[in-house]
Amino acid sequence: MKKRKTLLDNFQEIIDSGDFQAFTNVFEKCEITATDRGKTTCNALSYRSLTPKHIQFLVDRGLDVNADCGFGEPAIDFHASNKENLDCLIKNEADVNLVSGFLGTPLARACFSNKAQAVKNLLEVGASVKIAEECIGISLLDETLQQCSNIAIIDVLEISRMLIAQGCKSTDKTKMLVREIGERFEFYREGFNPSSVNEYSDALNELYKLYDVEPVSRIIKHDGKSAIAVKGKIWQEQYNELWKMLVPASGSAETVQGEMIRVVGMISHEILDNGGLNWDNRHKQMLSSLSKLLNPNMGWDKKLVAEATGIIGKITPSTSKAMIDRLVEIIVKCVVGNPKPIKLTDIESLQKKDSSKGLISRIKSLFK
């Protein structure tokens, strides 16, 4: 009987069940090189929850551990975080420094993914920092740091220590990358899980020490009541201050001023930093809400409002940097020129309840 070239739809469930006989029975119906049904090259060695027993069974029947086991990567990539599985692969002649797929080597990919346990295991079985760096063209330290999210700070600290112990060197870019990690953490600190924020904050402090970087100051958020004040002299500096001060880690801002900064910042990021790749109805809705908040009856400079409204009407995913920058500058001028904070909820409730004429009079009262 001709065997299937694709694995069973419930193959992962069979592995997770722990029934080894059921696992072996799969290959009475499927070829040993069978892959999943998706448009990938993922064979049985790419699946989660395998044990050395599963791996040995597959290898004994001809599955090549150094071949493309999924996404152009060898089996090691899928099991580097599991010491027993990795040892089994090495015993079966897996090449820990095999150059293939994305970023070249398993070590480079583990650093890219901020997988501390995988990096540790790979280094212990002879993964080469030199070969990995030759493949990616940059320091593994920088590769690790530039991929660091807030939730990965602890792992990145551990990886950094291991790589430095292996002789990996910092570059001119390294300190800047550490500062970026700190700035990102401080911006989102208020929204971090209270039960773990101190653990991650402590790890960040150790990261500063390891790379001899001045710690990033904690951000003091606006209290929603006092006048909004900035120290910067140019609009770019003022925008950065306003963003840190008024924009929350997630969701809408508390004040109208903060919401205007949040929206124009997200529009700017999507077009200038992301090339408009994710532009959709959400961004159009943001522009619509910005237009409503730019109501001249709120006290904004009417000439600036007219100019901003004209720009908003022309914005597309390919709008020029000059036009986007000008819109951001106008919003900054509006906020700096109207420092009395207005709660966003006050405006939203008025928009829902009042007629146009009544809305205007009530909005004006908020600015008195």
Question: What mean pLDDT value characterizes the chain?
Answer: 92
pLDDT at res. 153: 98
pLDDT at res. 354: 47
CA distances (Å), origin 185, targets 144, 181, 313, 356: 16, 6, 35, 42
Provide the pLDDT confidence category of residue 350 given band limits of 50, 70 and 90.
low
State the maximum Cα–Cα separation within the chain, in Å, rounded to a whole number: 85
Provide the pLDDT confidence category of residue 349 given band limits of 50, 70 and 90.
low
Whole-angstrom Cα distance, residue 56 to residue 49? 14
Convert the pLDDT of each residue in 307-344 to its tens digit: 999 999 999 999 999 999 999 999 999 999 999 999 88
- Residue type at position 245: M
Under 8 Å between Cβ of 303 and 331:
no
Convert the pLDDT of each residue in 38-73 to its tens digit: 778 899 999 999 999 999 999 999 999 999 999 999
Provide the pLDDT confidence category of residue 347 given band limits of 50, 70 and 90.
confident
Provide the pLDDT confidence category of residue 277 given band limits of 50, 70 and 90.
very high
pLDDT at res. 352: 52
0.85 surpassed by pTM: no
Under 8 Å between Cβ of 268 and 319:
no
Under 8 Å between Cβ of 228 and 245:
yes
Whole-angstrom Cα distance, residue 296 to residue 305? 6
Residue with the two structure tokens 């999210």: 149
